[in-house]
A = this chain, B = another copy of it.
């Protein structure tokens, strides 16, 4: 079902970032070998990853930085505007809202939401924090494409459900829990709708879980032989 490996998409994002860096340094040409070295992968991998989406290089010559950059931005959907809401405006949500780099790609924060009376009404960046009850109407009126979820874990599922019900199609989940369509859960037999979860159809969830990363790091620090180290075997 995945004709393009999901790992390939992560690598494309890395290649794009490298191309941007090369561009700021006025380096206009590169090669699969050069990109591979900078990205910490093999040159085969770079060529294969690019080949899933087209032919961007010139045989014998390599790649032209601005052209490959433009093509990768197109492939990744980064040459269009994305309207984003952040749900959860605590310390983490504020750090996200203020993190530089998002606006480089036309990711525009159009709304911030929280439940806390201490936060609602406050100004964060150029936006006023709204109550999460306003989310539904806001999403519809403002053509919101994505939501970033930065609430405490115990509220994540409900907040995610609210986003999906409101019509958000993509969620970047920062909470250390699995969010998704929930089966009935209560002992009460689900004689009600079997279409629970139907509004999740087509919704994309990407997780950015710092606590999980910390635990994986603990494991691999104890078991380094189970992980490809960043020290490459060959080139």
**Distance of A213 Cα from B10 Cα, bound (Å):** 8
Whether the pair A101, B211 counts as a contact (CB closer than 8 A) is yes
Q: How many residues of A contact B (CB 8 A)?
A: 83
Are A3 and B226 CB-contacts (below 8 A) given A204-B221, A217-B206, A220-B170?
yes
Copies of this chain in its oligomeric complex: 2
Interface residues in A154-179 by Cβ distance below 8 A to B read 169-172, 174, 176-179
Which chain B residue has the least Cβ–Cβ distance from A52? B226
Contacts A219-B9, A221-B77 given; does A202 touch B214 at CB 8 Å: no
Closest to A177 in B: B17
22 A-B interface contacts by CB (under 8 A): A1-B225, A9-B220, A17-B176, A77-B218, A77-B219, A77-B221, A77-B222, A82-B218, A91-B99, A96-B210, A101-B153, A101-B211, A146-B214, A170-B221, A179-B230, A180-B231, A197-B231, A200-B229, A206-B213, A207-B213, A208-B208, A208-B209
CA–CA, A171 to B16, complex, Å? 23
